[in-house]
Amino acid sequence: MEKTGSLLKRIFINKYVFTLVAFTVFVTFFDEYNLIARWRTARKIVRLERELKLQEEEIRRNKEKLKDLQSSDENLEKFAREQFLMKRENEDIFIIKE
């Protein structure tokens, strides 16, 4: 039993083990680029990349819609009627809400 305690004491007193433990604690918690900050930054990057992909998809859809609206007057009239409830002078509009 005494041998085990002596062995553990020698291991923990060993300057190399102490240096390794101190370095690990420093890098994990106290360094400017610590592991916790790097983990948070990686999560933020993933979230922003996902948001970028959604924004690019929305831009693509809007460009297609713009191209479609600029291509014909019928499409432009349909868009104006649906989005802005526009009508001709001799028409009535009925809005049905479900």
Q: What is the pLDDT of residue 16?
A: 80
Q: Roughly how many angstroms between the first and final C-alpha of the chain, as a whole number?
A: 81
Domain boundaries, the chain: 2-84
pTM exceeds 0.75 for this model: no
Cα separation, 92 vs 21, whole angstroms: 79
Q: Convert the pLDDT of each residue in 24-82 to its tens digit.
A: 888 787 877 788 888 999 999 999 999 999 999 999 999 999 998 899 888 888 888 88
DSSP at 31 = S
